[in-house]
Amino acid sequence: MFKKSNNISYSIFFIFINFLLTYYFHFYFFYMPNHKFTLKYDEFFKIVTKNFFELLNCNVITEYEILNLPKKADIIIIKNPDTKKLELFKYFKIFNIISFKSEKDKPSIKDFNDLFIYLTGFCNREKSANLNNTTITLITPDFTKSFKNLLNKHAILLQDGLYKFHNDLLNIYFIEINQLDINALRNRISLYLR
């Protein structure tokens, strides 16, 4: 874990462990001698870690809310075995999350990051969902130049207007409506609706 040449990191690590153990025993035996110890490990760890790093003159925040996102996805599409396949959405799995961006609300790099959170959050919440049977698609009329550059680096163009994030673990897709062949899509849709 630590290199022997890095004596400072090694020393700080042992000071930290020593502090944890000392604080634990001090707290347990002196402040709660007649009580059953009910402080959970997570709470204890936060208290001890906060105190330790404050001794090193650090600012410490506990219970920091990492995510500040809407709790609802725009659309969830659950595919049945007899679902007809539309050419554009032939990549659909069992669970398919769709997120829309309007003309005014163009996607940014933050939205790219949010897709990871939505996808993994959905898989954590739904018992039968996992990364193998769930997709997420961001649909927008246009991509900004910076977002298009991000796609060029990290996505594969599957067809005009349809990109897939270049990763075998995550099924993340992007659709740029203005790049799609709308006439071909209309013809295919009309075939399905007959």
Please check whether residue 2 lies inside any domain of the structure.
Answer: no
Write the DSSP symbol of residue 87: G
Name the average pLDDT for the chain: 75
Parent domain of 29: 7-55
Paired tokens of 159:
């067809």
Cα gap 69→51, rounded to integer Å: 31
Cα gap 7→78, rounded to integer Å: 55
The 10s digit of each residue's pLDDT in 30-82 is 555 555 555 555 676 677 777 767 776 778 777 766 556 556 777 778 877 77
pTM: 0.65
Across the chain, the runs of DSSP E, i.e. the strands, are 75-78, 95-100, 134-140, 155-159, 162-165, 172-176
Report CA-CA distances (Å) from 60 to 17, 112, 165, 177, 189. Answer: 18, 29, 36, 45, 56
| Percent of residues, the chain, with pLDDT higher than 90 | 15
Cα gap 40→187, rounded to integer Å: 61
Same domain, 42 and 80: no
Residue 109 has pLDDT above 80, yes or no: yes
Domain count, the chain: 2
Same domain, 178 and 99: yes
Count of alpha carbons within 13 Å of 118, Cβ hemisphere only? 26
> What pLDDT is stored for residue 174 in this prediction?
94
According to DSSP, the β-strands at 134-140 and 95-100 are parallel
Same domain, 51 and 81: no
Same domain, 115 and 42: no
